[in-house]
Amino acid sequence: MKELSIFKVGLVLAEDGFPISSRRILAGEIDRSGRCCRRLVIAVGSRNPVKIRAVERVFSRVLSSSFDVKSVEVDSGVPPQPFGDQTVKGAIERARRAMSALDADYGVGIEAGLFFNKALNRHLDVQFCAIVDRTGRVTVGHGPGFYYPPAVEGRVRGDLSVGDVMEMIYGLKDLGKKSGAVGFLSKGLMDRTTLTEAAIIMALIPRLSSELYEVDEHDCQESEKG
């Protein structure tokens, strides 16, 4: 008798980024070709217009199906000024809570925080993005990092954010909803929207090249850790 061979076949995704299945076809979510039969809902865990605009821009380049971006203010579960891993946890929590609150297909959480670099002996500001979907999968990425003037870095703490300090020192109000501190410090060469878009794209990489990533292993374990 011939020895049985087992072949692993990757998932075939519909245009909404979720696997094609007979259940979904029968439910009217997609057609037999994987095209969406309804508008997707992408939930952003913030009312910040910069974050919302960045999500709209990136997802319009990624999804061929129609979608609506909705926003909701959620508790990140971390201090106003996150440090280190608090930043990642805050992004994931924002994504989860936004998706749950709006019963969305995708939840997007964006959180900026300070990470200490031993080689530089100072903190870098890095913005993280977490994307969670209704299957429970979580993917994370971050954008470029930069450091602040000593006068700013020295005053920042958990309950006093970079935005608070920038306003105190330079009189710049609501920077996070405009070009951001990066826009001010880079003299306009970079703004917060572009910085946020980069973080979102990085978080999408395991989804854009899903055939190269083990969907059921690392990403789902990250989701369970919180």
Please say whether the beta carbons of 225 and 153 come within 8 A.
Answer: no
Q: Are strands 138-146 and 106-117 parallel, antiparallel or unpaired?
A: unpaired
| 23-51 mean pLDDT | 87
Q: Residue range 56-81: average pLDDT?
A: 95
Distance, CA of 164 to CA of 173 (rounded, Å): 8
User: Quick check: 225 pLDDT over 70?
Assistant: no
Calpha distance 117→123 (Å, rounded): 6
- Across the chain, what does the average pLDDT equal? 88
Domains and CATH numbers, the chain: 1-38 (no CATH), 39-225 (3.90.950.10)
Q: In what order do the strands lie in the sheet with 122-133?
A: 67-71, 40-44, 106-117, 122-133, 138-146
pLDDT in tens, 165-216: 988 888 877 776 778 889 999 999 999 999 999 999 999 999 999 888 866 5
Residue range 34-50: average pLDDT?
91
Give the confidence band of 124 by pLDDT, cuts at 50, 70, 90. Answer: very high
Q: What is the mean pLDDT of residues 23-43?
A: 83
What is the average pLDDT across 14-24?
79
Q: pTM higher than 0.95, yes or no?
A: no
